[in-house]
């Protein structure tokens, strides 16, 4: 599914999910349907003509094998607060409810890049817990996702600029017995392994250490797919190998 360089991640990926996940669930007869909720690091690219400054979402959806499908609801500048107040969360929930009878609906929830500026950690965690509860109550499966690492390097290693938000995401998942994937940790491992020069090729330009080029979208979309497949074995068949 991904570049050979990513193969070193696979043995440890399952550790990123709670032990409450069934290691060998029976595949469903209904197709998987993914709704991606998040900020600009999930969202579609701003400039569709060049495919730059987007997130991992479209790269992830491109790996789905039909009849599996999904919709990228990622929205630039959104937090766990204004994703709800601005109507984005309502759109996700409406889509979930419209398809829950005919599809297995999974909702990835990844925030933090904007929340750290204005939302306290306790509120951030509570907001994620609430989102996960609402998805479950509506008949879907939430997958809390720690924020994609930024690409600032110091002495050859990626700086942990969003570690607090990542830990709050994990805490929210554990408090509600919710599946989570640690994209923050895995993206940091990957970036450190390839080094700063190669990491810069995943950006639209060297000054942007947050958003992704077309190449970056494919790479991190693939990492998300691998994390989900490793933690939910029933979904392994929905991704391109």
pLDDT in tens, 139-158: 999 999 999 988 888 888 88
pLDDT surpassing 60 at residue 3: no
C-alpha to C-alpha distance for 35 and 38, rounded to whole angstroms: 10
Q: What confidence score (pLDDT) does residue 210 get?
A: 76
SS3 153: strand
| Lowest pLDDT segment from 6-20, 61-75, 209-223 | 6-20
- Which pair of tokens denotes residue 50? 């060049």
Provide the domain count of the chain: 1
Q: What confidence score (pLDDT) does residue 123 get?
A: 98
What is the β-pairing status of strands 32-38 and 69-72?
parallel
CATH code where residue 14 lies: 3.40.50.1110
Q: Return the bridge partners of 72, or none.
A: 36
Angle of CA points 172, 120, 174, to nearest 5°? 10
What is the β-pairing status of strands 32-38 and 104-110?
parallel
Q: H-type helices in 62-114, by residue range?
A: 82-85, 88-99
C-alpha to C-alpha distance for 95 and 175, rounded to whole angstroms: 26
Q: What confidence score (pLDDT) does residue 50 get?
A: 58
DSSP 225: H
Which tens digit of pLDDT belongs to each residue from 35-84? 999 998 999 987 655 555 789 999 999 999 999 999 999 999 899 999 99
- Which pair of tokens denotes residue 124? 């951030």
Range of the domain at 231: 4-238
C-alpha to C-alpha distance for 67 and 41, rounded to whole angstroms: 26
């Amino acid at each position: 599914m991904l570049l050979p360089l990513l193969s070193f991640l696979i043995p440890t990926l399952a550790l990123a999910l709670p032990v409450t996940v069934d290691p060998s669930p029976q595949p469903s007869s209904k197709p998987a349907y993914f709704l991606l909720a998040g900020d600009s690091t999930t969202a579609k690219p701003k400039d569709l003509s060049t495919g730059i400054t987007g997130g991992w979402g479209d790269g992830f959806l491109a790996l789905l094998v039909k009849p599996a499908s999904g919709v990228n609801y990622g929205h630039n500048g959104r937090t766990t607060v204004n994703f709800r107040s601005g109507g984005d969360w309502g759109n996700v929930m409406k889509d979930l409810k419209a398809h829950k009878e005919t599809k297995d609906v999974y909702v990835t929830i990844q925030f933090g890049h904007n929340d750290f500026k204005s939302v306290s950690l306790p509120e951030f965690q509570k907001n994620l817990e609430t989102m996960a509860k609402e998805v479950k109550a509506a008949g879907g499966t939430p997958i809390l996702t720690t924020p994609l690492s930024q690409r600032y390097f110091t002495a050859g290693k990626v700086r942990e600029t969003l570690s607090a938000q990542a830990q709050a995401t994990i805490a929210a998942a554990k408090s509600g017995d919710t599946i989570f994937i640690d994209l923050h940790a895995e993206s940091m491992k990957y970036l450190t392994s390839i080094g700063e020069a190669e990491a810069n090729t995943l950006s639209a330009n060297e000054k942007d250490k947050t958003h992704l080029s077309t190449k970056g979208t494919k790479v991190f979309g693939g990492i998300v797919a691998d994390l989900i497949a490793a933690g939910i074995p029933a979904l392994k068949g929905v991704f391109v190998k």
